[in-house]
A and B are shown apart, each in its own frame.
Chain A
Amino acid sequence: MTQTLAEPVQVATARSVRLIYFAWVRERVGLSEEEVALPASAETVLDVVRWLKTRDEGYAAAFADEKLIRAALDRVHAKPGTRLGNAREIAFFPPMTGG
């Protein structure tokens, strides 16, 4: 179960966001969620994926197959090319298997 963290302290960077991971993406990253300062160059969902892959082996394993990664911006489905805009919460997860 994802634990909700306290609201983050406002920081000066323009792109402080909460990242949330589910299912095997969560397992490979090793975290349910985290606050990160995105690089200014990250403008789209795919930019964030490619930046995360460079962080360590866990992220590299989680995001190795970009075609299998689904994302949501502020709890609405997004495509790889979707611009981040003012999104505060970015979720990454495998293709859904509910129903």
Chain B
Amino acid sequence: MVPDIPRDSVVGTDVITPTIRIQRENFDLATEVAALSAGRRDIGAVVSFTGLCRDEGGTLRALELEHYPGMAEAEIARVAIEAATRWPLTGLTAIHRFGLVEPGEQIVLVIATSTHRRAAFEAADFMMDYLKTRAPFWKREHLADGTTGGWVEAKQEDDDAALRWS
């Protein structure tokens, strides 16, 4: 597991320590942004991405997210450290939920902060592309008619999106 290192240990040109959480409960964007920016005067850009559960035209009752508990946090941390190595970030947070998530609810959050916007935009984009193809999570549909649908199939376009960064 990834140890939680105090944020004040992040100084100068050192690669930052990302915050990674895998949790059943919801998260709050404002709280997470505040945690990255509290007490700092060097941050010029905060970029966040929040992924929500869609109702698929009213046919979906919920998504069930299964994950590999021993690996999910470690794998997202590996992706985050790669992002922090590629871009000059001041902070990086990734939160991914598991369990049952209903339409309109949040599933995933990525926040990248930097001195300038370009690094923050690109790092957040990179994080999401790799979360989709490397983080060990699987979605199963629970349908509005009460039945359990199938497992969501991986999309070729997600693999293609991840390849943009290599």
Which A residues form the contact surface with B (CB < 8 A)? 2, 20, 22-24, 72, 75-77, 89, 91, 93-99
For B65, the chain A residues whose CB sits under 8 A away are 98
Most buried by A among B131, B136, B153: B136
Cα A72 to Cα B135 with chains together (Å)? 11
Q: Which of B129-150 contact A (CB under 8 A)?
A: 131-140
Is the beta-carbon distance between B134 and A96 smaller than 8 angstroms?
A: yes
Cα A32 to Cα B74 with chains together (Å)? 20
Is the beta-carbon distance between B151 and A97 smaller than 8 angstroms?
A: yes
For A94, the chain B residues whose CB sits under 8 A away are 138, 151, 154
Is the beta-carbon distance between B66 and A22 smaller than 8 angstroms?
A: yes
Which partner residue on chain B sits nearest A2 by CB separation?
B69
How many A-B residue contacts, CB cutoff 8 Å? 75
Which partner residue on chain A sits nearest B127 by CB separation?
A99
Which partner residue on chain B sits nearest A98 by CB separation?
B137
Main SS at interface, chain B: mixed
For B21, the chain A residues whose CB sits under 8 A away are none
For B153, the chain A residues whose CB sits under 8 A away are 95, 97
Most buried by B among A72, A75, A93, A96: A96
For B108, the chain A residues whose CB sits under 8 A away are 98-99
Is the beta-carbon distance between B68 and A98 smaller than 8 angstroms?
A: no
Most buried by A among B74, B128, B131, B154: B154
Contacts A2-B68, A97-B152, A99-B137 aside, 18 further interface pairs with beta carbons under 8 A come to: A20-B68, A23-B66, A72-B71, A77-B134, A91-B68, A91-B71, A95-B133, A95-B154, A96-B133, A96-B137, A96-B138, A97-B132, A98-B131, A98-B137, A98-B139, A99-B132, A99-B135, A99-B158
Most buried by B among A2, A75, A93: A75
Which partner residue on chain A sits nearest B108 by CB separation?
A99
Is the beta-carbon distance between A75 and B68 smaller than 8 angstroms?
A: yes
Is the beta-carbon distance between A75 and B138 smaller than 8 angstroms?
A: no
